[in-house]
């Protein structure tokens, strides 16, 4: 007879993939303090408790301000390497065997850091992490829609130049409500060059924002997409065309786009037949982790272990891994899930 197994232990042991997590937004307070000291950046707090108080976001603009302050502490290639190494260790500790990591290269190039040196540093950190802990990490440089198209040019060029360093897709982030029209061509060029695509939409704005991004950028996946729940036709289209949503429940609560996890549209989206994956977005900034995200969803919606297993499978299924490798990950996942379901009560 096996000992009773809690939801948290089950989720901890479940092999997981994460499709929506930002590298800069994964900077733990301890590393942020270390980098700020090293690079002479002054922050409004000089201890972890103070930083946690700073991470109480009034709204999205306030969040972006803090996000950019964290980004300013990354000055040298070794800083990026340290961040990626720390990130990889935390993914490995959570049994997240595959991650697609959003990254805002244009911010750093705008801060005067050399883009090729950043790519080299990140590439080395990825390779070392894979060799040492077996976790596979891929990069998604994001265009920032509230910045000028010149910054988007930098992002696209960097994405195309560094596929050998782990870039798999072009993304879009930043302030919704700013037109995406200037970026349609960037997405078309990325697609033509064989990159995959994803775009944040339907997080800060209503379903019209998802329609706009689908028309202009034609992404393979949508980041967040939670306001689709307000538009039954859109829900049907997302389900029929198999456009998956990368959902980040705690992020939505912390930024004020959902009242609570219990009232979050996650379950309504899933029931409408839309493919959803579970993600943490900017974990230390929202004081969460991928394990926490599965756990709060299980508590809010009463998911069984096999339902949690299906959710975890969905992330592998909708990953931007090459077809052959995705199949390998899925086969391994299915075998591990079967064992886990059989050996835990």
Partner whose footprint covers residue 313, from ligand ADE, Zn ion, none (CB < 5 to 8 Å by kind): none
Minimum distance from residue 173 beta carbon to ligand ADE (Å): 4
Minimum distance from residue 204 beta carbon to ligand ADE (Å): 7
| Binds Zn ion by CB under 5 A, chosen from 24, 281, 293, 317 | 281
Near ligand ADE in 267-296, by CB under 6 A: 281-282
| Binds ligand ADE by CB under 6 A, chosen from 10, 14, 25, 51 | 25
Q: Among the options 24, 176, 203, 293, which is catalytic?
A: 203
Minimum distance from residue 255 beta carbon to ligand ADE (Å): 7
Backbone angles phi, psi at 121, to 5 degrees: -65, -45
Site string for ligand ADE, 90-129 (x = CB under 6 A): ----------------------------------------
Minimum distance from residue 202 beta carbon to Zn ion (Å): 12
Minimum distance from residue 63 beta carbon to ligand ADE (Å): 7
176 vs 281, which CB is nearer to Zn ion?
281
The residue nearest ligand ADE at its CB is 173
- Where does this chain touch Zn ion (CB under 5 A) — which range of 116-124, 276-284, 288-296, 322-330? 276-284
Minimum distance from residue 21 beta carbon to Zn ion (Å): 8
Cβ partners under 8 Å of residue 148, min gap 6:
none
118 vs 253, which CB is nearer to ligand ADE?
253
The answer to whether 251 contacts ligand ADE (rule: CB under 6 A) is yes
203 vs 292, which CB is nearer to ligand ADE?
203
Near ligand ADE in 162-221, by CB under 6 A: 173-174, 200, 203
Give the separation between CA 170 and CA 282, rounded to whole angstroms. Answer: 18
Asked if 246 is an active-site residue, the reply is: no
The CA distances from residue 140 to 164, 169, 292, in Å, are: 13, 5, 23
Q: Footprint of ligand ADE on this chain (CB under 6 A)? A: 22, 25, 67, 173-174, 200, 203, 251, 281-282
Q: Which positions touch Zn ion (CB under 5 A)?
A: 281
Query: Catalytic positions, please?
Result: 203
């Amino acid at each position: 007879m096996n000992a009773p197994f809690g939801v948290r232990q089950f989720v901890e042991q479940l092999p997981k993939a994460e499709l929506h997590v930002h590298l800069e937004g994964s900077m733990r307070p301890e590393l942020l303090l270390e980098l700020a000291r090293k690079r002479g950046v002054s922050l409004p707090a000089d201890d972890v408790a103070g930083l946690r108080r700073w991470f109480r976001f009034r709204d999205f603009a306030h969040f972006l301000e803090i996000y950019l302050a964290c980004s300013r502490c990354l000055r040298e290639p070794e800083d990026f390497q340290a961040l990626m190494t720390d990130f990889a260790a935390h993914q490995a500790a959570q049994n997240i065997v595959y991650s697609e990591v959003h990254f805002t290269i244009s911010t750093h190039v705008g801060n005067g850091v050399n883009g090729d040196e950043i790519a080299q540093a990140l590439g080395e950190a990825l390779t070392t992490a894979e060799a040492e802990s077996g976790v596979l990490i891929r990069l998604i440089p994001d265009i920032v829609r509230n910045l000028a198209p010149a910054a988007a040019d930098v992002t696209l060029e960097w994405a195309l130049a560094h596929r050998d360093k782990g870039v798999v897709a072009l993304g879009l982030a930043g302030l919704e409500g700013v037109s995406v029209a200037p970026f349609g061509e960037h997405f078309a060029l990325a697609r033509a060059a064989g990159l995959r695509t994803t775009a944040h939409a339907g997080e800060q704005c209503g379903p019209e924002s998802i329609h706009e991004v689908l028309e202009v950028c034609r992404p393979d996946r949508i980041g967040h997409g939670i306001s689709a729940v307000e538009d039954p036709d859109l829900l049907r289209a997302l389900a029929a065309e198999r456009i998956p949503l990368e959902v980040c429940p705690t992020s939505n609560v912390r930024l004020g786009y959902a009242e609570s996890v219990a009232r979050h549209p996650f379950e309504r989206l899933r029931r409408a037949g839309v493919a959803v994956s579970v993600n943490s977005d900017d974990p230390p900034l929202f004081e969460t982790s991928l394990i926490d995200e599965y756990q709060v969803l299980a508590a809010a919606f009463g998911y069984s272990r096999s339902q949690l297993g299906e959710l975890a499978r969905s992330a592998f299924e909708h990953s931007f891994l090459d077809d052959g490798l995705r199949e390998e990950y899925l086969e391994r996942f299915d075998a591990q899930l079967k064992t886990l379901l059989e050996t835990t009560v």
